[in-house]
């Protein structure tokens, strides 16, 4: 399984960090976690045709996580119409199904509406090669419309925190434990609070993405890693275009 952090920034894209998008490649198929503005180009830069994505999983409906989705779906429909990737059926998993009507209406303005497939992310996903479980967090309060995701191919397991609450208490230690790699946001909570909770985590590697502006420099990142130096697993910050193989 290969994971590429296409966009590792927070709500406002910066020169160094684009907004959220993460690519998973497994057994020759491609999956996308979040799809911020510019994801289509980021996929091309990673050598992946955007219309070949098998499934997109949106963690929550803030625009820095989903504003690129209409354009990605339009490209899929357009390319399929003209015979490119005819066997791909791009499925879109949403944390709030109200977004399906909004996205469909926006794409309809471009006269591309066929072949759209929307599903409730809360119900999970499995295609016999990759499974996904969704776990609500409190980034959007108690409405249950923001998720952390856990992926497995039956051998390797990835935990993806999504955006969390301001006190980090909804980081799902139970589900993150024993994963081969854990991706955690680093924007919405005090680092010292994360130190207190992450001491109970057991995993192969911890990677910070969705990186807030104060942490988008090497000095601040080094300071965070120093604070977490007692953890019994490696810790690092992701960068746009970085690849992890497990």
Q: What is the CATH number of the domain that holds 191?
A: 3.60.15.10
Q: How many domains does the chain have?
A: 1
pLDDT of residue 153: 97
Separation between Cα atoms, residue 64 and residue 62, nearest integer Å: 6
Q: Give me the pLDDT at residue 196, please.
A: 85
Whole-angstrom Cα Rg for the chain:
17
Answer for the pair 149, 172: CB distance below 8 angstroms, yes or no.
no
- Residues 18 and 214: their CA atoms lie apart, in Å, by 15
119-140 pLDDT, tens digit each: 999 999 999 999 999 999 999 9
The pLDDT, as a whole number, for residue 85 is: 76
Residue 105, both tokens: 């209406």
Residue 134 has a pLDDT of: 98
Nearest alpha-carbon partner for 34 in 86, 92, 84: 92
**Cα dist from 48 to 30, 128, 144, 197, 212, whole Å:** 8, 22, 32, 36, 27
pLDDT of residue 111: 72
Residues of the chain scoring pLDDT < 50: none
What integer pLDDT is reported at residue 96 of this predicted model?
97
Question: Which pLDDT score is estimated for 75?
Answer: 92
Please give the pLDDT value at position 86.
78
State the pLDDT at residue 82.
Answer: 82
Which tokens belong to 3? 């994971």
Residue 86 is part of which domain span? Answer: 2-245
pTM of the model: 0.96
């Amino acid at each position: 399984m290969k994971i590429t952090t296409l966009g590792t920034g927070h709500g406002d894209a910066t020169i160094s960090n684009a907004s959220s998008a993460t690519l998973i490649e497994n057994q020759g198929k491609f999956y996308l976690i979040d799809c911020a503005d510019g994801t289509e180009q980021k996929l091309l830069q990673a050598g992946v045709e955007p219309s070949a994505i098998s499934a997109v999983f949106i963690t929550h409906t803030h625009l820095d996580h989903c504003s690129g989705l209409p354009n990605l779906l339009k490209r899929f429909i357009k390319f399929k119409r003209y015979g490119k990737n005819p066997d791909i059926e791009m499925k879109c998993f949403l944390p709030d199904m109200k977004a399906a009507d909004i996205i469909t209406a926006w794409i309809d303005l471009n006269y591309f509406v066929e072949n759209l497939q929307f599903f409730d992310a809360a119900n999970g996903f499995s295609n016999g090669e990759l499974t996904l479980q969704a776990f609500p967090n409190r980034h959007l309060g108690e409405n249950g419309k923001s998720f952390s995701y856990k992926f497995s191919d039956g051998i390797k397991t990835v935990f993806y925190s999504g955006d969390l609450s301001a006190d980090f208490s909804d980081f799902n230690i139970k589900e993150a434990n024993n994963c081969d790699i854990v991706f955690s946001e680093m924007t919405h909570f005090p680092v010292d609070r994360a130190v207190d909770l992450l001491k109970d985590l057991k995993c192969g590697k911890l990677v910070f993405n969705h990186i807030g502006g104060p942490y988008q420099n090497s000095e601040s990142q080094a300071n965070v890693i120093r604070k977490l130096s007692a953890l019994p697993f490696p810790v690092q910050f992701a960068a746009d275009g970085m690849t992890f193989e497990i």
